[in-house]
Structure 1
């Protein structure tokens, strides 16, 4: 009887823990949470001027759609890595527009490298070569998407700056 009770308590504790982690992830994946720091207001303003915010079909990509994997273990890894963002927010690394712009090239390249390493995994939750109707695309887009699929390119190889302004490369 005691083993059964212990097992039930252990199962219930695990279920509560999983629920708490899931609730935390859901909350921290909201655009409201992501842009609650004043340092993210510049990113938010840029995003609001792109097709990922407002478009002819009314589909809106939120911050987490592009920056957080859907799968559990990659999501956990992304959340752990994101702790550095909180740290840098707290110590003021990018707390002014000037500081933000000074670090923008490095931050953007870090995101682009992650996207290349994962074959633009987050992009592909909405955009997959196999699902594209190339016949309705413009001639240039159709040609480039056909070539990209054949060459096994990833989205970010061509679409840097699609949701945020492209940073200026630092002068050497």
Structure 2
């Protein structure tokens, strides 16, 4: 005859199994939904993929193609990563499913999108803020701005993406600015309002 399982041990074993299963499913889901292929599977993301491919940020410091998650999610896994990933994933899914993804207004979206570009993601490639990507000293204006950002000459509450706009994506309405001319010249022409 079998010994009965002690009362308190069955729920603990069951809860442990459920937690481990949920953790495994979550890890698999996070991994599967963090690829560029997944991010750009929806047709409304194709323009962002094209812009990135022609941008100054097409590759990272190791010359590997930039992945969407390198900029749009925090560098390290933790509560902030889970919150960003969940919020952005649910929002994108709702717009794709229930909204009109061809009718989103990018000028408004730029402001909210910049809130989800973590400075640590930028600093993963741009470690020395006093030099440009060719390892040459930056301009005096850039030096003063970066000193303010670093807190050595005043302070600022602006993040990297607040000053460095249109470095990876360039909507048509921002292509007219001289500072974006080199990037804009590489991009295919698209309809106004996109």
* The two structures share one fold, judged by TM-score above 0.5: yes
For 1:68 and 1:122, locate their aligned partners in 2 and report how far apart those are by CA, in whole Å. 8
Deviation at 1:27, TM superposition (A): 1.1
Deviations 1:75-129 (A, max 9, x none): 332233221221111234223xxx34xx1111111112344xx6x34323x146x
Deviation at 1:137, TM superposition (A): 2.6
- Where does residue 132 of structure 1 map in the other structure? 128
Alignment of 1:41-60 (within 5 A): 41-54=46-59, 57-60=62-65
For 1:55 and 1:74, locate their aligned partners in 2 and report how far apart those are by CA, in whole Å. 23
Deviation at 1:44, TM superposition (A): 0.3
Q: What is the RMSD computed on CA atoms of the aligned residues?
A: 2.8
* Paired residues of 2:56 and 2:168 also in contact (CA < 8 A): yes
1:31 matched to 2:36: yes
Say which SS state the counterpart of residue 48 (structure 1) adopts: helix
Residues matched between the structures, number: 158
* Paired residues of 2:59 and 2:65 also in contact (CA < 8 A): yes
- The gaps in structure 2 that reach 5 residues or longer are 175-194
1:86 matched to 2:85: no
TM-score (norm 2): 0.68
- The gaps in structure 1 that reach 5 residues or longer are none
For 1:5 and 1:108, locate their aligned partners in 2 and report how far apart those are by CA, in whole Å. 51
* Paired residues of 1:104 and 1:167 also in contact (CA < 8 A): no
Deviation at 1:47, TM superposition (A): 0.5
Say which SS state the counterpart of residue 25 (structure 1) adopts: helix
Deviations 1:8-55 (A, max 9, x none): 232122111111011111111111100000110000000011232236
For 1:157 and 1:78, locate their aligned partners in 2 and report how far apart those are by CA, in whole Å. 18
- Where does residue 148 of structure 1 map in the other structure? 149
* Paired residues of 1:108 and 1:167 also in contact (CA < 8 A): no
Q: 2:108 aligns with which of 83, 106, 109?
A: 106
Larger Rg belongs to: 2
- Where does residue 21 of structure 1 map in the other structure? 26
* Paired residues of 1:46 and 1:163 also in contact (CA < 8 A): yes
Deviation at 1:145, TM superposition (A): 3.2
Distance change (3 Å), C-alpha of 1:85 and 1:55: closer
